[in-house]
């Protein structure tokens, strides 16, 4: 079990660390990691995303991305639907994108954030 193994690690060492972890898994070792970096969770064969101790999503990361409901798009300002900052832009999510929106292929980060926002909305 590795608890946030790459936290505080420089980018070059992070690549090498994940190469070693991947090799161990490929050789048959069971590897369980915790991470706040969802790009790392995408490397797993299975993942579990929690929010306040409750399961948001679980399963195969690629399948979670493929089966995510709704549409994701990027905007320069907060648009309609659910939205969150990614760098200087906003990633937005709703059942459908507004006309002219720059639709994007979601990654696991987008899908988990959208699930967390949806869970908060459903709880309200």
| pLDDT at residue 79 is higher than 80 | no
Under 8 Å between Cβ of 38 and 9: no
Q: What pLDDT score does 123 carry?
A: 82
Would you place residue 78 in the very low, low, confident or very high pLDDT band (cuts 50, 70, 90)?
A: confident
The string of pLDDT tens digits covering residues 4-62 is 999 999 999 999 999 999 999 999 999 999 999 998 899 899 999 999 899 999 999 99
Give dist(CA 9, CA 78) in Å, integer.
Answer: 32
Distances (CA, A) of 8 to 4, 12, 14, 78: 9, 12, 9, 31
Q: What pLDDT score does 25 carry?
A: 93
Q: In the numeric block, which tokens belong to residue 90?
A: 């906003």
Give dist(CA 49, CA 55) in Å, integer.
Answer: 6
The string of pLDDT tens digits covering residues 82-115 is 899 999 999 999 999 999 999 999 999 999 999 9
| Residue 103: how many other CB atoms lie within 10 Å | 12
Q: What pLDDT score does 77 carry?
A: 86
């Amino acid at each position: 079990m590795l608890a946030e193994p790459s936290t505080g690690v420089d980018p070059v060492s992070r690549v090498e660390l994940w190469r070693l972890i991947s090799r161990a898994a490929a050789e048959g070792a069971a590897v369980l990691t915790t991470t706040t970096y969802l790009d790392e969770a995408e490397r797993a064969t299975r993942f579990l995303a929690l929010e306040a101790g409750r399961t948001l999503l679980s399963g195969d990361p690629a399948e979670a991305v493929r089966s995510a409901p709704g549409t994701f798009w990027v905007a320069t300002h907060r648009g309609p639907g659910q939205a969150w900052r990614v760098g200087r832009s906003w990633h937005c999510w709703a059942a459908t994108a507004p006309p002219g929106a720059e639709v994007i292929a979601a990654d696991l980060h987008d899908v988990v954030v959208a699930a967390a926002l949806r869970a908060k909305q459903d709880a309200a």
